[in-house]
Amino acid sequence: MRELNELKHLAIIMDGNGRWAQERGKQRVRGHEKGAETIREITMFCSKSDISFLTLYAFSTENWKRPKTEVDFLMRLLSDYLKKEAEVYLKNNIRFKAIGDLSRFSSRLLDEIETLTQKSASCSGLTQVLALNYGSKDEIIRATQKMIKAGVEVSEENLSRFLDTAFAPDVDMLVRTGGDYRLSNYLLWQSSYAELFFTPTLWPDFTAEELAIQIEEFKRRKRRFGGI
Ligand code: IPE
Ligand code: IPE
Ligand code: MG
């Protein structure tokens, strides 16, 4: 029998929060609030599975283009989430990490990110990664600059070592909710051989059950990595 695909690294583009709210005649930010609950559900599901890394796209380098009120709300939501979730991470042995250019965040938010990262550093279960002010192009440029500064040979291996995701293997499976068929500058290098899944389900409506069905399909797909 063919060996089933191993799913070590799952990446998700959590899209559709604004539309979820608008469909209900609510303000877009209500969708972000509901989306935070989905993060909780999906993280718990992954922490009970064999998945080692769950990387969630929470805020892109392009999302600063949004109205200031929405950006400010997202920053507050993130701050509340980091504080509230700390206990859940520790209780469930979940390690927290952030990727992206964090330098643009307030010092208070940076402190909160750092605190949770350190508190959960020795957790050995799932690693949950939040992509914050993350853009793949920005990450590759920052990694290239570091590689040049370190004076090492320009190679695929060295570039991978200088990416924000150096601690994780390449992405095996990438899910985008919200009905669009694009990567929006997310993990372009790391997803070069990822299996892609697109669902019309808006992120606040996404469930562990739907993810479980996608994972079943992932296991049935034949990954060839350029071979035959
Ligand atoms: C994704 O939902 C969350 C973030 C980008 C922060 P959106 O806010 O993009 O929701 P839609 O795509 O407008 O519905
Ligand atoms: C991608 O969603 C970014 C996040 C989910 C954080 P967007 O809503 O920003 O993507 P586009 O603009 O539709 O490509
Ligand atoms: Mg969107």
Which of these is catalytic: 5, 50, 63, 138?
63
- Lining ligand 1 with CB less than 6 A are 14-19, 59, 63, 74, 178
Instruction: Ligand 2 pocket test: pick from 12, 14, 15, 176 the residue with the most ligand atoms within 8 Å of its Cβ.
Output: 15
Catalytic annotation present for 63 = yes
Catalytic annotation present for 133 = no
Q: Give residue limits of the domains in the chain.
A: 9-134+170-219
Q: Which of 3.40.1180.10, 1.20.1250.20, 3.30.420.40, 3.50.50.60 is the CATH number of 9-134+170-219?
A: 3.40.1180.10
Tens of each residue's pLDDT in the chain, 228 residues: 556 799 999 999 999 999 999 999 999 999 999 999 999 999 999 999 999 999 999 999 999 999 999 999 999 999 999 999 999 999 999 999 999 999 999 999 999 999 999 999 999 999 999 999 999 999 999 999 999 999 999 999 999 999 999 999 999 999 999 999 999 999 999 999 999 999 999 999 999 999 999 999 999 999 999 999
Looking at residue 4, what is its pLDDT?
78
Amino acid at 17: N
Pairing of strands 9-13, 53-57: parallel
CA distances from 80 to 76, 98, 109, 119 (A): 6, 15, 10, 16
